[in-house]
Structure 1
Amino acid sequence: MSETPLSETPLSETPLSIRAEALDARDTEDGLGKLRDRFSLPPGLVYLDGNSLGALPAAVPGRVADVVAREWGELLIRSWDESGWWTAPERIGDRIAPLVGAAPGRIVVGDSTSVNLFKALVGAARLAAATTDGGRDELLVDATTFPTDGYIAASAARMTGLKVVPVEPAAVPAALGPRTAAVLLNHVDYRTGRLHDLPGLTAAIRAAGALSVWDLCHSAGALPVDLEEHGVDLAVGCTYKYLNGGPGSPAYLYVAGRHQAGFDSPLPGWNSHADPFAMTPGYVPADGARRGRVGTPDILSMLALEAALDVWEGVSVADVRRKSLALTDFFLECVEAYVPGGKVETVTPAAHAERGSQVSLRTENASAVMRELIARGVVGDFRAPDVLRFGFTPLYVGFADAERAARTLGHIYG
């Protein structure tokens, strides 16, 4: 695919709608535009809420029907072996691994993001206690984090005797010290779309002798993460946003290879036992990613996710990132052209190095504005008290979608 950013077009003097059409035509010919056919989307709808719930991959309904009717209905319990149900958490983890720059055997799929975050934070605290002199009693937590992450961090801290220290991501290097056990950070801020410096912050955390725990919910599937390259210790993420796994699809837990033997999960279920069917009273943890399992996997959601991941066949995350930046650049240009001055304020950073795959705009009456956008066929979402969020999923969002969304927003204010 072309290395030239899609926003660099010689058609800059033409109307924005014509430019959008030309960009989409080019992207369909030699970019990601052709992948839209891999999804089922209502005709005429501009869907810019993939950062909350990804669109339905076209192959998923048939796969789920087969799982229900044949694997469950006919094979019944035999499907744990014959249909590969038992190995699904690790198998699907290996499907996600290349999308986040992880090696095989590092990711297990199952449970929710919150449950996996609890495992990761308690596991990080126990790793820190086992590998240091015991003087590390602080858990630094992203002060702008998604609320549930904060709740989970507070509970994990109570369990492990740590003290939660809220800190802005940019201030983490200065806040690190000999008392820091672990640091929880979001790769992309869910409100503003700001992309935080995972490589630099991870390096600083490692240099301070602490462990990094990253929440990838708003970055995995939208931009490169490169967990192994940057030495991340632990990470979690959901699969229903940019990975399009469906509502409530299972989340995942990443544990770096160097930590797997010492990872002590606070939820040691029978599924993570070294010999789960022996049913012994004593717990012996399994090797590798299986150590992150707990109870019986949610097979229907798990296999729907596996089918959803087929849309990534032949897709480069680098190409996804290029299109994401081109789309968000173009949307911001259209907003500036269509929306009367002073009506909205862009809170997403302009710099590509600091931008995820969403654009957030601050405005008065944001809830009412979003309801009107949705009524006019443009679906984004609202975050209290005054933020409009627009998520750009490059596998199915095009430049005409971006232009129409901005033009519709301008009409509302017009």
Structure 2
Amino acid sequence: MIRDWAELDSSDPLRRYRDCFLGADDSSVPAYLDGNSLGRPTKAGVERVTTFMTQSWAGRLIRGWDEQWFDLPLTVGDALAAAALGAGPGQTTIGDSTTVLLYKLARGGVALRPGRTEIVLDRDNFPTDRYLLESIAAELNMSLRWIETDRREGVTPDQLSAVVGDRTALVVLSHVAYRSGFLLDAAEAARITHAAGGVLLLDLSHSVGSVPLELDSWGVDLAVGCTYKYLNGGPGSPAFAYVRAEHLADFAQPIWGWMGRADPFEMEQGYVAAQGIRRVISGTPPVLGMIAMQDTIEMLADVGMAAVRAKSVALGEYALDLIRELLVPLGVEIASPEDSSRRGGHVTIDHPDFERITARLWERGVIPDFRGPNGIRLGLSPLSTSFQEVHAGVSAIRDELLA
């Protein structure tokens, strides 16, 4: 028997955090289930941005660079690493878009394995990842080794083992698949990649802030991810990059800019990369774009990722129970792993009419997202999503299918 949403919300140990988000009590949006594309703003984040503009920016002006802005990509990076990445200090920086940082890390990863000619990736990775690696392969005259994956699943250890070898320079995988939510065994992927002599680069865009990460202990070499999903940084907020400490001395990224140079304010002739993770930085960092995410990072540090994951699993199990009872009899198919140990923070369902009814759902304030050809993703953000929202959202999908 499906538990009552009111009972689940009242017993939720993280329920008080929902009040930290703007719009969570907006009756015109009874179900926001797209936090895996764009998270809600935090109330404290709005105050922090306003204070920054009226005091730090307006008050300190250019002096702010000397006081704290210059190191902000590294200080926020270290805070994120400690709260959500399972990574020690000095390996993470914030800045650029996910695409630009993915390019930097992929090029730098290939350069760590000179003489090797192949990049391994899967057919259902996020389009930007695929397109960008196609461009790098063309640029460097390398070959792509494609893993053929089931859209409702993801890359398995056996599939990865079958394609890596002595020509593998770089393996690029998403830790949580953007379509199905499949959760990669990252430690095993690292082991397989390293046994073949390659470098592993993970895209954490659908992982960070939703599922626990242990980049250091897993042996991941490089990682990139966005901050506007579960980290609530806002539209287009800057991404983050992780470079394992053992690689930093030799890591060379291709976009040389003045703030990634040793002693950048000397303005000297010729490029000499900075020591440590600062060498990943290129130009002036997006200071304003780093402000809002800091409050979510603080919440994650306070709550702990184990509690976040427990809430995420509970939301997913509740959604699946509702889907089986209300939607499967109407021809809906579950397009995500049903075992929570193999699923990240969202649940995908398929039906031929989903593209048509998504616009109607949005009109009534029920907001999932559509992913072709037939999928609706239910994004379940542990700090801001309630069980009531999940019930309202799945019920609205049923109503639209019956209309």
**Shared fold per TM-score greater than 0.5:** yes
In structure 1, the residue matched to 2:162 is 174
Amino acid at match of 1:148: T
Q: Does 1:317 align with 2:311?
A: no
Q: Does 1:56 align with 2:41?
A: yes
Q: Does 1:139 align with 2:119?
A: yes
Deviations 1:315-348 (A, max 9, x none): 1111111111111111111122222614211100
Is the 1:125–1:160 contact (alpha carbons within 8 Å) kept by the matching residues of 2?
Answer: no
In structure 2, the residue matched to 1:118 is 103
114, 121, 136: which one aligns with 1:156: 136
Please show how residues 3-402 of structure 1 align to structure 2 within 5 Å: 12=1, 16=2, 19-27=4-12, 31-42=13-24, 43-44=26-27, 45=29, 46-82=31-67, 84-98=68-82, 99-129=84-114, 134=115, 136-168=116-148, 169-170=155-156, 171-339=159-327, 341-402=329-390
CA distance in 1, matches of 2:326, 2:163: 43
Amino acid at match of 2:143: K
Paired residue secondary structure (1:214): strand
Give % identity: 39
| CA drift at 1:33 | 1.2
| CA drift at 1:308 | 4.1
Distance 1:307 1:399, change over 3 A: closer
In structure 2, the residue matched to 1:8 is none
CA distance in 2, matches of 1:340, 1:196: 26
| CA drift at 1:240 | 0.3
Is the 1:216–1:238 contact (alpha carbons within 8 Å) kept by the matching residues of 2?
Answer: yes
Is the 1:378–1:405 contact (alpha carbons within 8 Å) kept by the matching residues of 2?
Answer: yes
| CA drift at 1:313 | 4.1
Paired residue secondary structure (1:359): strand
| CA drift at 1:159 | 3.1
CA distance in 2, matches of 1:339, 1:191: 19
In structure 2, the residue matched to 1:7 is none
TM-score by length of 2: 0.94
| CA drift at 1:377 | 2.2
Unaligned runs of 5+ in 2: 149-154
| CA drift at 1:399 | 1.4
Is the 1:340–1:410 contact (alpha carbons within 8 Å) kept by the matching residues of 2?
Answer: no
CA distance in 1, matches of 2:112, 2:325: 52
CA distance in 1, matches of 2:62, 2:297: 25
Amino acid at match of 1:87: D
TM-score by length of 1: 0.91
| CA drift at 1:161 | 3.2
Is the 1:38–1:311 contact (alpha carbons within 8 Å) kept by the matching residues of 2?
Answer: no
Amino acid at match of 2:74: E
Name which of structure 1's ranges 222-231 and 40-49 shifts more when overlaid on structure 2. 40-49
Amino acid at match of 2:293: L
| CA drift at 1:291 | 0.9
Is the 1:122–1:160 contact (alpha carbons within 8 Å) kept by the matching residues of 2?
Answer: no
| CA drift at 1:405 | 1.2
Is the 2:232–2:292 contact (alpha carbons within 8 Å) kept by the matching residues of 1?
Answer: no
CA distance in 2, matches of 1:387, 1:339: 13
CA distance in 1, matches of 2:278, 2:81: 15
Is the 1:357–1:392 contact (alpha carbons within 8 Å) kept by the matching residues of 2?
Answer: yes
Name which of structure 1's ranges 208-217 and 365-374 shifts more when overlaid on structure 2. 365-374
Deviations 1:361-394 (A, max 9, x none): 1111212221122222211100122111110001
Amino acid at match of 1:139: I
Unaligned runs of 5+ in 1: 1-11
Paired residue secondary structure (1:274): coil
Is the 1:124–1:182 contact (alpha carbons within 8 Å) kept by the matching residues of 2?
Answer: yes
In structure 1, the residue matched to 2:151 is none
Query: Please, what is the CA RMSD of the aligned residues?
Result: 1.4
CA distance in 1, matches of 2:393, 2:290: 33
| CA drift at 1:222 | 0.4
| CA drift at 1:260 | 0.3
Paired residue secondary structure (2:69): coil
Deviations 1:18-51 (A, max 9, x none): 6211111111xxx111111111125222111010
Amino acid at match of 2:305: V
Is the 1:53–1:240 contact (alpha carbons within 8 Å) kept by the matching residues of 2?
Answer: yes
> Which aligned segments of 4 or more residues in structure 1 are displaced greater than 6 angstroms?
none
User: How many aligned residue pairs are there?
Assistant: 390
CA distance in 1, matches of 2:11, 2:380: 18
CA distance in 1, matches of 2:293, 2:268: 32
Paired residue secondary structure (1:86): helix
Amino acid at match of 2:272: V
